[in-house]
Amino acid sequence: MLAGILGPHQPARPHATAPDVSFAANKMALHGTNPWAIEGLPGLSQISPPPFDLSYSMIPSGVQSGSLAVVGLRIFYIVDQRRVESTVVGWSRQPDVLATAPPCHSINQIAAAGHVVAYVESWPIGIPFEATGCGSPTSMAWTVQFMDLAGSSPRIVAAGVTSGGAGRTGLAPVHLGLSDSVYAFERSDADATLPGIIEVHSVDDGSLLLRTRSDEPVAELLVGGTTLAVLEASAGTRTSDYRLQVADLGDPELRTVADRTSAAAISQDGSYLAWDVEGGGAGTGVAMQNLASGQTVVVPARSAASTPGPLDPAVSSTSRGPIVAWLATATGGSVYPAFRTPANGSGTAIASVQVTAWVSLQGSVLIWAAAAGDGSLGVAYALDLATAQTGP
């Protein structure tokens, strides 16, 4: 019975190497960027070339912005829902292939922190199966697997079965969150459209540290330090109606931080939480909360675009204070990486020629990925905000 849940034995896969967090060989000036002011981003100063340099690397085709992870300058991503690969921003070598799913299996999510990269692998079980292909049964088996970046083979740390199959209204079979000390996932009830139990375990020994229940289906799990953040999605509602809740080891009951948001982020140490603030149906800013004090500030992120895109914020904690980043939509629909540091309270946009689809923060280093023509990601960039200057 156990073999039926966990699936076939998987051979050892290529070992990952420890992440390189220093800027590396691939450097380029911001050539080709717009040297004039970006229109339609009120209140933001701008970085213009020269003299600012970026580290960059190409990303393989087939990578979407929905599930990426980063440690230092190393980005981990899913290719064609079958392979886990990684690229060090600034290096021009071929991506490292870290894991490959067997036939009829798919890799749904990825997370990375500290020395671990984790991913969710799932596959259909039950009947009916088609004569060719993998069929569409009503249940999915899943595993959460860990790889140590120092060089160990993947190992299963959690497993289960989720009912609903293809009828789960687009929700993943299980959601995953990871920090350098804990990991979190939810075990859905028999009916996968209902909320489930969320568990938080120790990365070191797998011991259960926290168990709580969400009131609505989980859309995303976020973990920073030992703090858990949950985006809940009411069935059939718009993504802007997600509810953001948090819990920690000292207070395991989920408590609401925001009733309506479309995206959220938590700093690696669990000190800060950030989320989209909406007004009149369009994104208007990024809220950032100090979880220790409860103090919340809103960073204006207004746009003159007729259809502003999601802000999808990122947040990090540094020795000089928090940094928050987001996707800024300008007039005409172009999307630029934007950020606010403690030294520049008004915020800054970076004039990148390609449409930005994803942003992340590693301390003071801003990492973002630009979209290719087919909507998948094409290039990853990195810029150390500690040395960047802003200008009009």
CATH of 2-384 among 3.30.540.10, 1.10.238.10, 2.130.10.10, 3.40.50.150: 2.130.10.10
CB 147 within 8 Å of CB 154: yes
Residue 64 confidence (pLDDT): 73
Closest to 13 measured CA to CA, from 119, 101, 117, 98: 98
Strand, coil or helix: 297: strand
CB 55 within 8 Å of CB 21: no
Strand, coil or helix: 145: strand
User: Which residues have C-beta within 8 Å of that of residue 17, sequence separation ≥ 6?
Assistant: 96, 149, 151
Residue 49 and residue 388: Cα distance in Å, rounded? 11
Distances (CA, A) of 256 to 19, 222, 242, 262: 35, 14, 11, 15
pLDDT tens per residue across all 392 residues of the chain:
223 223 333 333 333 343 344 444 454 444 434 445 677 788 888 886 444 567 888 888 778 767 789 999 999 999 988 899 999 998 878 889 999 999 889 898 999 999 999 999 988 886 555 555 676 667 788 999 999 987 678 899 999 888 754 444 344 678 999 999 999 998 865 444 556 789 999 999 999 999 998 888 888 999 999 999 999 986 555 556 799 999 999 999 999 999 889 899 999 999 999 999 876 444 478 999 999 999 999 888 877 777 778 899 999 999 999 999 999 988 888 889 999 988 777 788 988 767 888 999 999 999 998 876 666 678 889 988 887 654 44
- In this structure, what are the phi and psi dihedrals at residue 167, rounded to the nearest 5 degrees? -90, 20
Angle at the Cα of 365 from the Cα atoms of 360 and 366, rounded to 5 degrees:
40
Residue 285 and residue 265: Cα distance in Å, rounded? 14
Domain ranges of the chain: 2-384
Angle at the Cα of 363 from the Cα atoms of 358 and 367, rounded to 5 degrees:
25
Residue 231 confidence (pLDDT): 93
Residue 202 and residue 325: Cα distance in Å, rounded? 29
CB 351 within 8 Å of CB 30: yes
Distances (CA, A) of 325 to 171, 265, 312, 337, 389: 26, 10, 8, 7, 16
Amino acid at 167: G
Residue 30 confidence (pLDDT): 42
pTM: 0.84
